[in-house]
């Protein structure tokens, strides 16, 4: 039996970025593998299935070209991983593939835990996997192959006579520690890149899933945090380097340094095995210190993406991120002293934020002077606490309506609860980017650090996108 996983083009919502920046993200700024599909592909392969991943985003494929590849593969099913923010774009591909091939469509992802009934309202989608797909997907496909009763498969939803049905919830017994490594042999590894990439090929990894820190705006489930052992993490790093020739790894953990002893052990094992690879992480400023920075650098760390978010203590308190600004200053300073690249994430338009608060954040970013910044407009997203409060207050589930097909409703989301209109946030975001990136001192410093023409080209495209 064969299954084909499809990763359609990513369409970054203009509610989070300005139109120019959204277009640049969608086209080339962050082209990365879909970890959910790649890990699941590895599991299905071990379960005895023939597997193919069509990364239409990375390969620049059209829908028609992708449909041709599906027809040639003649799979039992096609699988998609759904992200709430990209759902309608994915749906257009699901509809097109279904129309062109008629193959059974199975979807999964966090979206299915939030809006399963709404997703199944779209007739091109045949089955949804709710929760982890490790055990559920092969069981579902076995059921379909034997023409069994899908009601006996736990953890799915489907339509029966046009009516929505959901089976008993499946409590997953497996974690990333228990399943095969990402099936990178099915990925176009040479096509992945980011604006800040210096060495190719690159890939992404997860050393942990979820996050227990419960930031008010975060859509990552806080009750399902699971981490992999240092041995398992380093095993995957070694495979990336030795089998696939990977030269740079981006860890996608929400906060890589949450467990200090585990990180130190990972670094020790990378060094002892002589693995030559650069890597980057996401971290909070209150979860780094000089010792851990030195250890990570000695093991190949090149860049830290810091979640800074605001330069106003009251807004940080509202975000459930009461990190003293002096602690942020120290963390960034220590990171620079180690010669590591820094990126600061910032949010504008958080509920309760005023124009003066936003100016404080811009000033704080300029003071920190990270190598790069990323500025997001605040868009409440499910299932975050901020979004739940919004739905309770307004009586409108905006993302539910979007999932049902009303894309225009998202225009109302930016600025809700702050003193900004969506248009205000567009202007403020452009102002933030311009004040930061168009400083003569910054431009000179950046030019001095560029290591290749390819890197320069990516940075130039990013700079032009924020005009």
Instruction: Please give the structure tokens belonging to residue 352.
Output: 């309760």
Burial of residue 163 (CB within 10 Å: 0-12, 13-18, 19+) is: exposed
> Which residues fall within 8 angstroms of residue 303, CB to CB, at 6 or more apart?
196, 280, 281, 340, 341, 342, 343, 371
Instruction: Please give the structure tokens belonging to residue 387.
Output: 């979004």
Which domains, ranges and CATH numbers included, belong to the chain? 2-166 (3.40.50.2300), 192-379+414-465 (3.80.30.20)
| Phi, psi for 416 (deg, rounded to 5) | -60, 125
> What is the model's pLDDT at position 467?
59
Q: What is the dihedral of CA 4, 50, 182, 224, to 10 degrees?
A: 70
| Phi, psi for 310 (deg, rounded to 5) | -150, 155
Distances (CA, A) of 366 to 194, 346, 431, 433: 23, 12, 13, 11
101-129: burial string, b at 16+ Cβ within 10 Å, e else: bebbbbbbbbbbebbbebbbebeebbbbb
Q: SS3 of 194, please?
A: strand
Contact 381, 347 (CB under 8 A): no
DSSP code of 29? I
Tell me how long the chain is. Answer: 467
pLDDT in tens, the chain (467 residues): 899 999 998 865 565 655 656 555 555 568 999 999 999 999 999 999 999 999 999 999 999 999 999 999 999 999 999 998 889 999 999 999 999 999 999 999 999 999 999 999 999 999 999 999 999 999 999 999 999 999 999 999 999 999 999 999 998 888 889 999 999 999 999 999 988 888 999 999 999 988 999 999 998 877 778 899 999 999 999 999 999 999 999 999 999 999 999 999 999 999 999 999 999 999 999 999 999 999 999 999 999 999 999 999 999 999 999 999 999 999 999 999 999 999 999 999 999 999 999 999 999 999 999 999 999 999 899 999 999 999 999 999 999 999 999 988 888 887 788 889 888 988 999 999 999 999 999 988 888 777 665 655 555 555 555 55
Token pair 């009586």 is found at 395
The Cα 245–Cα 329 span in angstroms is: 36
Token pair 């980017």 is found at 433
Contact 221, 388 (CB under 8 A): no
Query: Which of 247, 203, 280 minimizes the C-alpha distance to 33?
Result: 203
Distances (CA, A) of 123 to 144, 159, 164, 288, 414: 18, 9, 11, 48, 31
Query: Is residue 25 within a helix (H) or strand (E), and if so which, with residue range?
Result: none
Query: Which of 339, 340, 310 minimizes the C-alpha distance to 324?
Result: 310
184-218: burial string, b at 16+ Cβ within 10 Å, e else: bebbbbebbbbbbbbebbbbbbbbbbebebebbbb
């Amino acid at each position: 039996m064969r299954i084909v996983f499809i990763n359609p083009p990513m369409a970054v919502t203009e509610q989070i970025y300005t139109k120019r920046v959204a277009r640049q993200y969608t086209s080339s700024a962050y082209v990365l593998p879909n970890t959910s599909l790649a890990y699941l592909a590895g599991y299905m392969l071990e379960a005895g299935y023939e597997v193919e991943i069509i990364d239409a985003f990375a390969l620049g494929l059209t829908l028609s070209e992708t449909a041709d590849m599906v027809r040639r593969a003649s799979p039992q099913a096609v699988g998609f991983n759904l992200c709430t923010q990209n759902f309608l774009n994915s749906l257009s591909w699901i509809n097109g593939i279904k129309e062109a091939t008629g193959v059974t469509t199975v979807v999964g992802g966090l979206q299915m835990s939030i809006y399963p009934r709404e997703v199944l309202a779209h007739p091109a989608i045949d089955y949804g996997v709710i929760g982890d797909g490790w055990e559920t997907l092969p069981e579902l496909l076995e059921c379909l192959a034997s023409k069994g009763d899908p009601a006996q498969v736990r953890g799915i939803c489907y339509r029966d006579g046009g009516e929505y049905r959901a089976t008993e919830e499946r409590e997953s017994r497996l974690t990333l520690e228990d399943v095969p490594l990402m099936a990178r042999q099915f990925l176009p590894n040479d096509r992945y890149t980011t604006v800040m990439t210096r060495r190719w090929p690159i890939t992404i990894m997860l050393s942990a899933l979820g996050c227990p820190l419960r930031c008010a705006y975060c859509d990552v489930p806080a009750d399902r945090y699971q981490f992999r052992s240092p041995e398992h993490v380093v095993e995957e790093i070694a495979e990336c380097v030795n089998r696939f020739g990977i030269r740079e790894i981006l860890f996608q953990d929400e906060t890589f340094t949450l467990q200090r002893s585990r990180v130190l052990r990972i670094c020790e094992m990378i060094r002892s095995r002589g693995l030559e690879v650069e890597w980057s992480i996401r971290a909070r400023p209150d979860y780094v210190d000089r010792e851990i920075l030195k250890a990570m650098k000695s093991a190949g760390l090149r860049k830290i993406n810091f979640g800074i978010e605001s330069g106003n203590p009251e807004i940080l308190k509202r975000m459930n991120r009461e990190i003293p600004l002096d602690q942020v200053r120290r963390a960034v300073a220590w990171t620079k002293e180690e010669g590591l690249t820094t990126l600061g994430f910032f949010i504008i338009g958080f509920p309760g934020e005023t124009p003066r608060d936003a100016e404080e954040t811009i000033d704080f970013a300029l003071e920190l002077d990270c190598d790069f910044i990323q500025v997001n407009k605040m868009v409440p997203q499910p299932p975050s606490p901020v979004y739940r409060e919004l739905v309770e207050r307004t009586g409108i589930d905006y993302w539910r309506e979007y999932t049902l097909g009303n894309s225009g409703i998202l225009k109302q989301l930016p600025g809700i609860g702050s003193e900004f209109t969506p248009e205000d946030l567009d202007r403020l975001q452009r102002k933030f980017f311009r004040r930061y990136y168009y400083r003569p001192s910054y431009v000179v410093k950046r030019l001095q650090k560029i290591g290749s023409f390819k890197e320069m080209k990516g940075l130039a495209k990013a700079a032009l996108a924020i005009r």
